[in-house]
């Protein structure tokens, strides 16, 4: 009888491992500029975007541009108010809120180091050393205590949700965060594009949920 040491090794070892340098490197981050109407100052907002990211943090979504324009046209929306942006990605609305003299701004996204560092880079490009704006990770529907702490343990006057409702499986979790973080008389701005027109009804279910639970 053959001993264990005589038996053939049928393991595949490194057969299916890509050799070093086989896969292309991820695309580098890129800088895009958003131009505000004259004579607003600063006229240009710089947005740093990741080269790619599985959670779509590498896009400057149209909804964020639309809401940025809305804030500039209606500065009272954020002026002297506390503002929280959920799922911020490029964080353009938060940058405009800072320019329009919001009292406190907290920019959040999924607690991923690359996403959060990218947002911090955008903050540093536009409002370096500003004491009124900060970034934090937040998993929708979970712990909100650290987000409240960043606003002096108070809920927020304004919540910004730009292009988030397409993520249908997360509607319930997102609504829990909205209800837990928005003050009683606050306003949540839900701005979105129907990225998949055949799923319009699914997108709108978030608004139906807001009406029934809010």
Write out pLDDT tens, residues 93-102: 999 999 999 9
Write out pLDDT tens, residues 69-104: 999 999 999 999 999 999 999 999 999 999 999 999
Token pair, residue 65, equals 């541009």
Query: Is the pLDDT reported for residue 202 higher than 90?
Result: yes
Write out pLDDT tens, residues 168-189: 999 999 999 999 999 999 999 9
* Average pLDDT across the chain, whole number: 90
Query: Is the pLDDT reported for residue 37 higher than 80?
Result: yes
Nearest to 94, CA basis, from 131, 119, 113, 115: 119
Token pair, residue 164, equals 């988030």
Alpha helix stretches (DSSP H) within 130-199: 145-149, 171-181
Q: Judge whether 101 and 80 are in contact, CB under 8 Å.
A: yes
CA 209 to chain centre: 21
DSSP state letter for 70: H
pTM recorded for the entire structure: 0.86
Rounded to 10 degrees, the C-alpha dihedral 54/57/59/60 comes to 160
Angle at 7 between CA 6 and CA 12, to 5 degrees: 130
């Amino acid at each position: 009888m053959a001993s264990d040491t005589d038996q053939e090794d049928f393991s595949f070892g490194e057969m299916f491992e890509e050799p070093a340098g086989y896969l292309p490197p991820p695309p580098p981050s890129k800088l895009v500029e958003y131009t505000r109407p004259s004579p607003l100052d600063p006229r240009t907002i710089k947005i740093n975007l990741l080269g790619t990211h599985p959670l779509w943090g590498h896009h400057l979504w149209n909804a964020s541009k639309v809401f940025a324009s809305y804030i500039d046209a209606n500065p009272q929306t954020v002026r002297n108010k506390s503002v929280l942006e959920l799922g911020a990605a490029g964080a353009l609305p938060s940058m405009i809120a800072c320019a329009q003299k919001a009292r406190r701004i907290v920019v959040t996204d999924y607690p991923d180091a690359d996403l959060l560092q990218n947002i911090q880079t955008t903050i540093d490009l536009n409002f370096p050393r500003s004491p009124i704006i900060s970034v934090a990770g937040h998993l929708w529907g979970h712990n909100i205590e650290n987000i409240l702490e960043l606003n002096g343990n108070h809920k927020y006057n304004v919540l910004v949700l730009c292009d988030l409702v397409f993520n249908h499986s997360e509607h319930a979790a997102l609504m829990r965060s909205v209800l837990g973080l928005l003050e009683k008389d606050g306003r949540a701005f839900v701005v979105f594009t129907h990225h998949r027109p055949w799923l319009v009804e699914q997108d709108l279910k978030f608004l139906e949920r807001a009406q029934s639970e809010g």
